[in-house]
Structure 1
Amino acid sequence: MDKDLESAPVKSISRAAKLLRILSEMGTNGGALSDIAQRSGFGKATVHRILAALNDEGFAYQDLTTRRYHLGAGLSLLARRAAVGEITSLAKPVLMRLAEQTEDTVYIQVREGYRCVCLGREQGSFPIKTLSLSVGQSRPLGVGSGGLAILANLPSAEIETLIDANRRWLSEYPSFDAEHLPRLIRQTQAQGYAFVDGLMIPGINAVAVPIRGADGRPIASLGVTAIAERIHGDRALWIAGLLGEEARRLSAILLNPNSQNT
């Protein structure tokens, strides 16, 4: 065996990974120090030391009332960032395909807490470009067709919480402020897609649909923007259909990465 693999730092990493797997198996109830030590085969002192280090990094925490250990939010953050990176890499051919089909500008946005961020943009061949959003630009969740598609597909209580938390930021977008957003959300829920007709920029319309994660919750959105004459009536429905197909395909690939090779 490579001597480097027997070094203390490598052993510590291996042991930490084993403890994290054990915590994940213990579920929401977490685990007592003695139970974790028994399952791992490590001594209590070793387990306590590693869990303390994981706690410092946000990967585990101890409930001060029950004294039981749980997985920390840091792992969820890493997982979300990994999912974002995966979505970004998978989205490029999707954006190119949609831009070719619609000849208009296509966007993908991802939810980050109380906001949505543009991860990618692809321009179509139509001579009038509608570059209403730059890659890396963020907006309050619910603003614009992409943010609206995400927000409208969250549970009602979460929607209310987000609108209230973003109330001041939303006021910077009068057509999407806390007073107007509930109506747009109801409209989006009824249609099955978000449609914004000149609310962000006069004369510019947009359509978007959510991309769902493994739990069915919206994690991102696909959208198309163009001059109003190009997104209305039957053509808006056609674009929404194209977006829906690609969003479902992306969701399926995220659930089963091997499916893109079959």
Structure 2
Amino acid sequence: MEQNQDSTPVKSIARATKILRVLAEIGGSGGALGDVAKASGFGKTTTHRILAALSEEGFTYQDMATRRYHLGAGLGLLARSAAVNEIGTLAQPVLMRLAEETEDTAYIQVREGLRSVCLGREQGAFPIRTLSLNVGQSRPLGVGSGGLAILGSLAPTEVEAVIEANRRWLADYPTFSPEKISGLVRQTRAQGYAFVEGLMIPGINAVAVPIKDAGGRPVASLNITAIAERIHGDRALWLAGLLREEAQKLSAALLRSDR
């Protein structure tokens, strides 16, 4: 008999979230109970119980003809009420343009408290791919060019508070020590964009700019990542200018959508 591991509400929420992510990755074809259980790492009994609870709330549903599970409309309603979803929708054509024009990989990240979360990614045509960040992946704010662009646009006192609050998490990123991030923030402010050289992955550079809301607060960032030979000198400046233009357009689009 399968043991009941859902001993706390927090664990139950974590398991439900994992099931939702599995269904999101499976996509429109949906997933059979066994497939969802295998992908999530849970037993079939636990998976079925979680899916049933999510279905009651409208977050998932089962196609009676195929017996496969899908994400439900209730989840879409929640997503549409979230600002990050709106930014992600608006940014998709921007990412496509950036990837096409630069031939490199374009990302959008959003701020969620003390972290930055990758909301979208588009790959360019350049044969050497630099997929340094997956959609849905989070990092401490200030780690990587996208999070650095956001952090560098905050008030100095807030920057210090964020770095201090993330101190234990930053231990997982030795090339981004609190002292290193403080120096990178000063550099970002001085040059007007974030530039990271080989700190996340040796030989990989990245440039990023913030996306700001109507009040001038950074809510997200756009960045381009490529091998170091493609992001340096004049080309880095060109990329920063290109990103800045697109970020300003996104900021204006967010302002229009709020009215």
Tell me what 1:180 maps to.
Answer: 180
Larger radius of gyration: 1
Where 1:131 maps in the other structure, the secondary structure is: coil
Q: Aligned partner of 1:141: which letter?
A: L
Residues 40-119 of structure 1: matches in 2 within 5 Å?
82-119=82-119
Corresponding residue number in structure 2 for 1:138: 138
Secondary structure at 1:179 match in 2? helix
Q: Paired residue for 2:252?
A: 252
Superposition pairs of residues 210-225 of structure 1, within 5 angstroms: 210-225=210-225
The superposition leaves residues 185-221 of structure 1 with CA deviations (integer Å, 9 ceiling, x where unpaired) of 0000001000001011000000000000111000000
State the 1:257 CA deviation: 3.1
Deviations 1:133-183 (A, max 9, x none): 000000000000000000010011111110000001112111211121110
Q: Which amino acid aligns with 2:142?
A: G
TM-score scaled by length of structure 2: 0.68
Asked if the contact 2:80–2:86 (Cα under 8 Å) also holds between the matched residues in 1, the reply is no
Q: Give the % identical residues.
A: 74
Which residue in 2 is equivalent to 1:71?
none
* One-letter amino acid of the counterpart of residue 181, structure 2: L
Deviations 1:46-99 (A, max 9, x none): xxxxxxxxxxxxxxxxxxxxxxxxxxxxxxxx8996211110110110000000
Return the alpha-carbon distance in structure 2 between the equivalents of residues 258 and 191 of structure 1: 30
Which amino acid in structure 2 is aligned with residue 106 of structure 1?
A
Q: Distance in 2 between matches of 1:241 and 1:84?
A: 24
2:167 corresponding residue in structure 1 = 167
Q: Please say if residues 171 and 178 of structure 1, whose CA atoms lie closer than 8 Å, have aligned partners that are also in contact.
A: no
Match of 1:242 in 2: 242
Across the aligned residues of Structure 1 and Structure 2, the Cα RMSD in angstroms comes to: 1.8
Number of residue pairs the alignment of both structures matches? 182
Which 4+ runs in 1 deviate beyond 3 A?
78-81
Conservation of the 8 A alpha-carbon contact between 2:154 and 2:217: yes
Structure 1 Cα separation of the partners of residues 240 and 113 of structure 2? 25
Q: Secondary structure at the match of 2:190?
A: helix
Aligned to 1:148: 148
Aligned mates of 1:80, 1:112 — CA distance in 2: 16
| Alignment match, 2:27 | none
Distance 2:192 2:255 in 1: 22
Aligned to 1:46: none
Task: Kindly indicate whether the alpha-carbon contact (under 8 Å) linking 1:146 and 1:223 is maintained by their aligned counterparts in 2.
Answer: yes
Tell me if structure 1 keeps the 8 A contact 2:79–2:85.
no
Q: Secondary structure at the match of 1:125?
A: coil
Instruction: State the match for 1:233 in structure 2.
Output: 233
CA–CA distance in structure 2, aligned partners of residues 156 and 233 of structure 1? 28
1:153–1:81: structure 2 CA closer, same or farther, 3 Å change rule?
Answer: farther
Alpha-carbon distance between aligned partners in 1 of 2:135 and 2:86, rounded to the nearest angstrom: 16
1:28-39 matched pairs, under 5 angstroms: none
| Partner secondary structure for residue 238 of structure 2 | helix
- What is the TM-score when the length of structure 1 is the normalising length? 0.67
CA 1:201/1:254 → structure 2, altered by over 3 Å: closer, same or farther?
Answer: same
CA distance in 2, matches of 1:225, 1:104: 6
